[in-house]
Homo-oligomer: A and B are copies of this chain.
Amino acid sequence: MAQKRGAGRDGYHHGDLRQAMIDAAEAVLAERGVGGFTLRECARRAGVSAAAPAHHFGNLAGLLTAVATLGFDDLSDAMEAAAARASATGGSRLAAICRAYLETALARPGRFRVVFGRRELDKEDPEMQRAGARAFGILVAETRAHRAGLAAPPPGPLPSETATAPDFAEILLVWSVTHGFTTLLIDGQFDFLVGEDGTEALLELFSRRLVQLLVAALPPEPALAKRGHDG
């Protein structure tokens, strides 16, 4: 019974290999990065043979997909928490979620790289699709609420035809700025400008200046308040 719940290993069966593999994957990503990521190394850390994970994840892509799902949900959690905090202190929710996006990626760059395209994932996986849609939904809702001048987005499900919405461009602009800066920073493209220890300064620059320019670039559209969600 300690077998089914604990992380330990009593005998032949592991008990909770799926979770153990995911934990190991996170650790390997943190230590070695996505380049040094290996299925066999994860299995080794979980104290299990190289072929064991196949039953739980199918193949390498399956494990990475599970990690990516976690990554999406972490992104969502961080953005929601940041938005709530901003509401409490009277700050801009939209600016808060952009900053949270960047901070989450910086906290776990390996995982972030798994989420966004580095290696092949199983894009049909319903759990990952749900997690991805959730994160994107936050972006949509907060962008709309900002433009409508609302304090917070109204509750409710996301509209399904986002791609044809009149504010599609504004939404993608917010995502592009945030994702672009994050990616460039994570991948070290700013290193030749500020050195490797300039991350803190760049984070400040992003929060104080980039996001300000972005937020100012979004034309207000009070009509969206009516549509808001579900429109």
Contacts and interface: CB of A to CB of B under 8 A. Distances in A.
Interface of A: 35, 113, 116-120, 123, 129, 132-133, 136, 162-163, 168-170, 172-173, 175-184, 186-194, 198, 205, 209-210, 213-214, 216-219
B180 A210 contact: no
B35 A169 contact: no
15 contacts: A116-B184, A117-B183, A129-B192, A133-B192, A163-B193, A163-B198, A168-B205, A169-B213, A172-B181, A176-B180, A177-B177, A177-B180, A180-B180, A180-B182, A213-B217
B169 A209 contact: yes
How many chain copies does the complex carry? Answer: 2
Most buried by B among A116, A163, A182: A163
Contacts of A168: 205
A210 B123 contact: no
Nearest to A208: B169
B120 A187 contact: no
A-side interface mostly = helix
A136 to B, nearest CB: 8
A217 to B, nearest CB: 3
A87 B35 CA distance: 43
Contacts of A118: 118
A161 to B, nearest CB: 10
Cβ-closest 7 pairs across A and B: A180-B180, A117-B187, A217-B217, A169-B209, A176-B180, A176-B181, A179-B180
Contact of A189 (B117, B184, B219): B117
A210 B173 contact: yes
Contacts of A172: 181, 184, 190, 205, 210
A169 B133 contact: no
Contacts of A217: 213-214, 216-217
